[in-house]
Structure 1
Amino acid sequence: APKREKTNGEVERRVVSQLLTLMDGIKSRGQVVVIAATNRQNSIDPALRRFGRFDREIDIGVPDDNGRFEILRIHTKNMKLSPDVKLQELASNTHGFVGADLAQLCTEAALTCIREKMDVIDLEDDIIDKEVLERMCVTQDHFNLALGTCNPSSLRETVVEVPNVKWDDIGGLDEVKNNLREMILYPIDHPDKFEKFGMSPSRGVLFYGPPGCGKTLLAKAVASECSANFVSIKGPELLTMWFGESEANVREVFDKARAAAPCVLFF
């Protein structure tokens, strides 16, 4: 049910109008309750969000660490896991993942385990040997490999990197690295102290300098040190010839980054 003023097709406008008419005809607390779902609530016609229609909105947000741990535990309860699998650690490393993403992660880890045993499995046999099945178990390495191929749904259309850059990989710039630790890493590692003393962490950092001086490498190191997703945005990706589209693209980038937090946006 898109906004009618932004819809070119007459069919979409008639569908929205008909939906409005039918919802107005439902008696208050009758035998019919209409439930709708969307991942783009701002694109819905505002008339549908007025009182008497969809006047109750529930935000189904991205799960936190504990939520992701519970989801992983559910999806792996029928899997044979190796003792080295740490679900709590996986939950901490899957920022921005929702239930479907975690289900895909578990499936991909299981498929990785099966691929390793393909040389001892005869696909022409209807039954797999019991000894082969007993030796098959999903390990932490399988999950780590799967994690490299699975991205959060919110960033599925965006190129997401998992930087492997440490502070020691950057020569010199000691003063800059210390400033970045104080501005970015300390608020993440010690949020209680910042709240106790009423301090507000920095919301953005501007790097400036000649090409090749290490600006991009520093941004990747920050993302790696705080275990955050790293999204690099190029200017042409945001600019379009259509009025209002560039602003909408910027808002969409920030919405995606919030959904996949913690996230480092690099322009």
Structure 2
Amino acid sequence: MSKLDGESESNLRKAFEEAEKNSPAIVFIDELDAIAPKREKTHGEIERRIVSQLSTFMDGLKQRSHAIIMAATNRLDSIDRALRRFGRFDREVDIGIPDAVGRLEILRIHTKNMKLADDVDLVQIGNETHGYVGADLKSLCSEAALQQIREKMDVIDLEEDTIDAEVVDSLAVTQDNFRFALNQLTSTFLRDIVDEIPTTTWKDIGGLEDVKRQLQALVQYPVEHPQKYLKFGIIPLHGVLLFGPPGCGKTLLAEAVANECQVNFISYEISELLTMPYEESRVNIDNIFYKACQTAPCILFFDELDAIVKSRGDSGTTAECVINHL
């Protein structure tokens, strides 16, 4: 992208000409949403022209040139519709979030050159990192290694050019180092909607023993023992409504069950949706549910649900539309 008039289009033309000249070739455009957003939602004239030029160039590619145009984005809905038509970017591949097996493979790749202590259980770490992508797992391994170095700082002489071999041999990343790193990092996928990772446990909540038992039966056990429920043909519940006076511990209970289950926790206040135009609220709801499904197992907690119910009397309001969409 360039602020100079016509330079962005010229650069794009040169890239396509170079690809055709040196075919077979692949032209890779990273962060496509930055240069080709929906034209009705952008005020920049350059972006509008780029979308038109890119569409024209893709339509004009000769079949025999064997030039393939690939692009990447993490905001698919922001891409102009014209570029997603047949003959352009008409094949879309959802990379998705790696499952437990995939996470274990990634962890093994990033720890193959690390000295691990005997207590390190990569299988367990892989099972606990729901919603983590490759970059997150790489950061996790790096943070764990840095924590091991921090713990040995008292025996490392920073003024020396080399580190004593005995000290180097004593450096081994432990399970506690990984545990520390897990408490410091959040999945990139959830970072914009998760303020902090819940640390509340059942022991932190006084009383409410009957409520705890109900939540364990409704939420915790199905998550911890899914195969047993599947074996007996029991379908776990997908919705639980906590009700009670202000300050009775509803949010704490939701955080505790998420922490005890070791699942992702997304908390969202319904009142925030009511301050937005309906279309924006709808997009936010879609985004929240999509991220919850992609990072499952996950608890999606809507706080202050009564705020939306109070407003439902007025038909046609944002509250009415938000309830229907939920």
TM-score normalised by structure 1 residue count: 0.90
Matched, 1:188 2:257: no
The residue type equivalent to 1:13 in the other structure is R
In structure 1, which of residues 81, 87, 92 is the aligned counterpart of residue 116 of structure 2?
A: 81
Residue 182 of structure 1, CA deviation: 3.7
Corresponding residue of 1:250: 285
Q: Which residue of 1 aligns with 2:257?
A: 222
Partner residue, 1:45: 80
| 1:266 matched residue in structure 2 | 301
Q: Give me the whole-angstrom Cα distance separating, in 2, the residues matched to 1:135 and 1:121.
A: 11
Q: Deviations over 1:211-236 (max 9, x none)?
A: 12221122123212321122222245
Q: Find the aligned partners of 1:122 and 1:29 in 2 and give their Cα distance.
A: 63
* Match of residue 189 from structure 2: 154
1:114 aligns with 2:149: yes
- 1:94 positional shift: 0.7
Q: Mind listing any 5+ residue stretches in structure 2 that lack a counterpart?
A: 1-35, 303-326
2:24 corresponding residue in structure 1: none
The 1:150–1:55 alpha-carbon spacing in structure 2 relative to 1, beyond 3 Å, is: same
Structure 1 residue 46: Cα displacement: 1.5
Please give the secondary structure, in 1, of the residue aligned with 2:265.
Answer: strand
TM-score by structure 2 length?
Answer: 0.75
Instruction: State how many pairs are aligned.
Output: 266
Q: Quote the residue 1:91 is aligned against.
A: 126
CA RMSD of aligned residues (A): 2.2
Equivalent residues of 1:229, 1:264 under 8 A apart: yes
2:237 pairs with 1:202:
yes
Tell me, yes or no, if structure 1 residue 232 matches structure 2 residue 232. no
Pair 1:165 & 2:213 matched: no
What is the identity percentage for the equivalent residue pairs of Structure 1 and Structure 2?
59
| 1:30 matches 2:65 | yes
Q: Distance in 1 between matches of 2:225 and 2:179?
A: 27
Greater Cα offset, 4-13 or 249-258:
249-258
Change (3 A) 1:200 1:128: same
Once the two structures are TM-superposed, the CA of residue 114 in structure 1 deviates from its matched residue by 1.1
The CA distance in 1 between the partners of 2:301 and 2:203, in whole Å, is 18
Q: Give 2:169's match in structure 1, choosing from 124, 127, 134.
A: 134
C-alpha change, 1:95 and 1:241, in structure 2 (3 Å) is closer
Q: Structure 1 residues 54-63 or 241-250, which shifts more?
A: 241-250
**Larger of the two Rg values belongs to structure:** 2
CA distance in 1, matches of 2:251, 2:287: 22
| 1:109–1:190 Cα change, 3 Å | closer
Distance 2:76 2:97 in 1: 15
Letter matched to residue 190 of structure 2 = L
Task: Tell me whether 8-17 or 210-219 shows the greater mean CA deviation.
Answer: 210-219
* Structure 1 residue aligned with 2:15: none
Deviations 1:33-90 (A, max 9, x none): 1111111111111221111111111111111111111100110000011001110011
After superposition, the Cα gap between the structure-2 partners of 1:106 and 1:19, relative to the gap in structure 1 and judged at 3 Å, is same
Matched, 1:63 2:98: yes
Q: Against the structure 1 CA distance between its residues 124 and 240, is the aligned structure 2 distance closer, same or farther, given a 3 Å change threshold?
A: same
Question: Aligned pair in 2 of structure 1 residues 147, 25: CA closer, same or farther (>3 Å)?
Answer: same
Matches of 1:156 and 1:23, distance apart in 2: 35
Letter in 2 for 1:37: A
Per-residue displacement from partner, 1:151-178 (whole Å, max 9, x unpaired)? 000111231323331278452341x344
SS in 1 for 2:299: strand
5+ long unaligned stretches in structure 1: none
100-109 or 227-236, which deviates more: 227-236
